[in-house]
Amino acid sequence: MQETETTPLRVAVADDALLLREGIQKVLEGGGIEVVASVGTGDELLEVVAGGGIDVAVLDIRMPPSFRDEGIVALETLRASGTDIGVLLLSMYATPEYALRVMGAGSGTGYLLKERVSEPQTLVRAVESVAAGGSVVDPEVVEQLVARTRADDPLDRLTERERSVLELMAQGYSNGGIAQTLFLGLKTVETHVRSILQKLDLEESPEHHRRVLAVLTLLGAR
């Protein structure tokens, strides 16, 4: 029986720091991902994506000319144009406000600290997750946001195990990945996920991705 070849993900990287771009490219290519473009600004990235053939854009949040939020602006521009490719934003700092803005762009988006570039499996998994329409939030940002308490917090309805499952969902883990990390059976994880969605009052809807909405609840964006 002939094996079917899997087409590698095609990624465009944007960061004004050449050495970091090269580092990201090396990590991704080591994970079987093809880097087809490497540019230094958000505008250049938008041009590359407009040319087609890109599955995921990996870009810095702060780039020329103002070094403020150019990466997020590029993300919002892509979503406004109807482009649904995966987008992974990288930042030097764990900034909850940036994370909320990124995740507010919908499914297929992620926010990671740049230090994760030194963790090949984390970066590769994040790219694969956003390419599949999932969401990824850096664990450090998740911890900061979970620490924010609110009155009548719907998250209080979750058990400790369900909270752990939801936090791993926020980091881009699939049900299988969650099962391996928490040493649980896949069916047990599926049961936890269903319970989480029910307790957070997230009903089936063709317009929304319920796992993403659950993550947004965790981030305090709803």
pLDDT confidence of 53, banded at 50, 70, 90? very high
Q: Which CATH superfamily is domain 10-137 in?
A: Response regulator (3.40.50.2300)
Q: What confidence tens digit (pLDDT) does each residue in 196-222 have?
A: 988 888 866 554 577 888 888 787 644
Provide the token pair at 147.
Answer: 């620490």
- CA dist 22 to 26, 27, 100, 114, 159, Å? 6, 9, 28, 13, 43
Section 42-64 average pLDDT: 95
Single-letter code of the amino acid located at 129: S
Total residues found in the chain within this entry: 222
Q: What confidence tens digit (pLDDT) does each residue in 129-188 have?
A: 999 999 899 988 887 776 654 545 778 888 999 999 999 998 889 999 999 999 999 999
Cα torsion 10, 126, 186, 211 to 10°: value is -100
In the numeric block, the tokens 């087809």 are attached to: 36
Residue 16 has pLDDT above 50, yes or no: yes
More confident residue, 4 or 57: 57
Fold of 149-219: Arc Repressor Mutant, subunit A (1.10.10)
Are residues 180 and 172 in contact, defined by beta-carbon separation less than 8 angstroms? Answer: no
pLDDT score recorded for residue 221: 46
CB atoms within 10 A of CB 6: 7
Query: Nearest to residue 86, comparing CAs of 111, 122, 68, 61?
Result: 111
Complete DSSP assignment for the chain: -PPPPPPPPEEEEE-S-HHHHHHHHHHHHHTT-EEEEEESSHHHHHHHHHTS--SEEEEESS-TTTSSSHHHHHHHHHHHTT---EEEEEESS--HHHHHHHHTT-SSEEEEEGGGGG-HHHHHHHHHHHHTT-EEE-HHHHHHHHT---TT-GGGGS-HHHHHHHHHHHTT--HHHHHHHHT--HHHHHHHHHHHHHHTT----TTS-HHHHHHHHHHT--
Domain boundaries, the chain: 10-137, 149-219
Q: What confidence tens digit (pLDDT) does each residue in 74-128 have?
A: 999 999 999 999 999 999 988 888 888 898 888 899 999 999 889 999 999 999 9
Are residues 133 and 215 in contact, defined by beta-carbon separation less than 8 angstroms? Answer: no
Residue 154: cis peptide before it, omega within 30 degrees of 0: no
Are residues 116 and 123 in contact, defined by beta-carbon separation less than 8 angstroms? Answer: yes
